[in-house]
Amino acid sequence: MTNDPDIPAIDRVLAGDQQAYASLVDKHKSYAFTIAYKVLQIRADAEEAAQDAFIKAFHHLAGFNRQSKFSTWLYRIVFNTAISAKRRNRHQFQDIETTILEYDQAAEGGLEKSDRKKYLLQGMAKLSEADRTALSLFYLEEFSLEEIAEITGTQANTVKVRIHRARLRLADELKTLLNHEALML
Amino acid sequence: MKKIPQAIEEKLLEYLDGTLTPNEATQLEEQLAHQAELKARLESLKAVHGMFRTMKPEHPSKNFTQAVMGKLDQYPLRATLSIRNGMFLLIGVLVAALLSAFLVSSGVFDSASTVIDLNAVKTPVDIIKEPLPSFRFDGKLVVNVIVVLNLVLAWLLLDRAILKPYFKQRMMTGH
């Protein structure tokens, strides 16, 4: 892809200017971290996975074939690194309560804690990593379905189905939880 | 409660995303005006949609870039065994295993067995008073064990030196 704005920085890195990579890290760290966080759901693990992914990308930069955007290529590495980390950590039991707390503290920053939002995040924690990541990337509005497909290593149609299915499931979860809450009052 | 058909639910989502044609949108709005259940479903989907619309990317720690730049040189060095060399090694191991298996099945090692009698070992000073045990050495069994170990090694080579590096390479090049 010739109009990728990251190409000049990539060329500088490949020419030996290691510090030029810092600008790429700065530019993409938020989305990279977001992807890792959606998969891992624990900020410390997500940070480590995102860092690992940037380091892997740096060492394989010469292999980046420029057919897709650098960001898409990078986020795919982030997604795969996070998935691998998730598999490694699977034996570490984490119950749903912990997951919700993670979301509350980090995603909401303790500022907005409406019940509806809390329940929605609770529902989201029940989705698969791929569904959760696809849904988040879709709503971040930076990515087309094709790019999300490339990042998550699936077909665009599958991504569309995943996003639809996840939203329907979340709506169901929300309804169930709100009904339950109404009964408790 | 009547279940809303999947196709209609898909339409509701497309309506929220604004991807329906004006005609389809009008048609759906008419249905929504007459069907309370459909309207309720749209409201619950709208709640999900509205929540996500305000979603922003997460931010890592402030020293994230610094941490990455500091670790760039700590990356493990490339494995010295390339995929090509891994394949040669795998072929070598498989040939050795097959050859050994062929020799075993053709009876070459049938007579390669003996009994090791420790009492037959002469020591300069007669310090051992008790009789020592004797061991049976079965050459065929040893070769069979070597064949099995070779097969395990071949399996590990296939996984570590060929398949894993291959898929990793594919991931990095974006194919």
- Read off the pLDDT of residues A10-63 as tens digits, 9 standing for 90 and up: 999 999 898 899 999 999 999 999 999 988 888 999 999 999 999 999 999 988
Instruction: Identify the pLDDT of residue A48.
Output: 93
Q: Which residues of B touch A171 (CB under 8 A)?
A: 41, 44-45, 47-48
Say whether residue A92 is in contact with chain B using an 8 A CB cutoff. no
Q: Which residues of A touch B65 (CB under 8 A)?
A: 22, 25-26, 29
Q: Are residues B100 and B25 in the same domain?
A: no
- The DSSP annotation for A41-82 comes to --HHHHHHHHHHHHHHHHHTGGG--SSS-HHHHHHHHHHHHH
Q: Taking a C-beta distance cutoff of 8 angstroms, is the pair B46, A22 a contact? A: no
Interface of B with A (CB under 8 A): 9-10, 13, 41, 44-45, 47-49, 51-53, 55-61, 64-65, 67-69, 71-72, 74-75, 169, 171-175
- DSSP category for residue A92: S
Rounded CA separation A153/A159 (Å): 10
**Dihedral class, residue B131 (left if φ above 0, else alpha if ψ from -120 to 50, else beta):** beta
Quick one: tokens of A163?
């996003």
Q: Is the pLDDT of residue A98 over 90?
A: no
Query: What is the architecture of the domain spanning A1-92?
Result: Orthogonal Bundle (1.10)
Contact B71 A55 (CB under 8 A): yes
Q: Are residues B166 and B107 in the same domain?
A: yes
Answer yes or no: is B134 within a domain: yes
Q: Which residues of B touch A73 (CB under 8 A)?
A: 174
Answer yes or no: is B63 within a domain: no
- What fold is seen in the domain A93-185? Arc Repressor Mutant, subunit A (1.10.10)
Contact A55 B65 (CB under 8 A): no
Nearest Cα of chain B lies from the Cα of A7 at a distance, in angstroms, of: 16
Answer yes or no: is B72 within a domain: no
Say whether residue A176 is in contact with chain B using an 8 A CB cutoff. no
pLDDT tens for B74-125 read: 766 455 567 888 888 899 999 998 988 888 888 888 777 777 777 777 766 6
- Domain housing B97: 83-173
Mean pLDDT across chain B: 82
- Residue ranges of the domains in chain A? 1-92, 93-185
- DSSP category for residue A109: T
pLDDT band, very low/low/confident/very high, at A183 (cuts 50, 70, 90): low
Rounded CA separation A46/A33 (Å): 6
Q: For chain B, how many structural domains are there in total?
A: 2
Q: Is the pLDDT of residue A107 over 60?
A: no
pTM of structure: 0.64
